[in-house]
Amino acid sequence: HIEEVTSVHLLQDSLHEALVDYEVSEHPEDPRRAGKLLMSLPLLRQTASKAVQHFHSIKLQGKVPMHKLFLEMLDAKI
């Protein structure tokens, strides 16, 4: 539950504006670059989820030794 919805919207607007400004200044040849980046976020999230599932299955099989820190991060993600 978000208590300050207006503040969150203002922060989102500010971050979006900063992204657009940065992309326009660094990549003027592609004015839609910021939008393309934002549209790629759902695919990145899906890919990350599949990667976690894959590493979790490897962990369960126990065929490949994994570093303790990696295992802790994997357990925290699930």
Q: Which two tokens stand for residue 27?
A: 């990549």
pLDDT digit string, tens, across residues 14-73: 999 999 999 999 999 999 999 999 999 999 999 998 998 988 888 888 878 888 888 888
DSSP letter (8 states) at residue 1 = -
What residues does each domain of the chain span?
A: 5-76
Gap between the Cα atoms of 43 and 49, Å rounded: 10
Amino acid at 71: L
Return the pLDDT at 32.
94
Provide the pLDDT confidence category of residue 77 given band limits of 50, 70 and 90: confident
pTM exceeds 0.85: no
Q: Which two tokens stand for residue 22?
A: 């940065």
Do 56 and 74 form a contact (C-beta atoms < 8 A)? yes
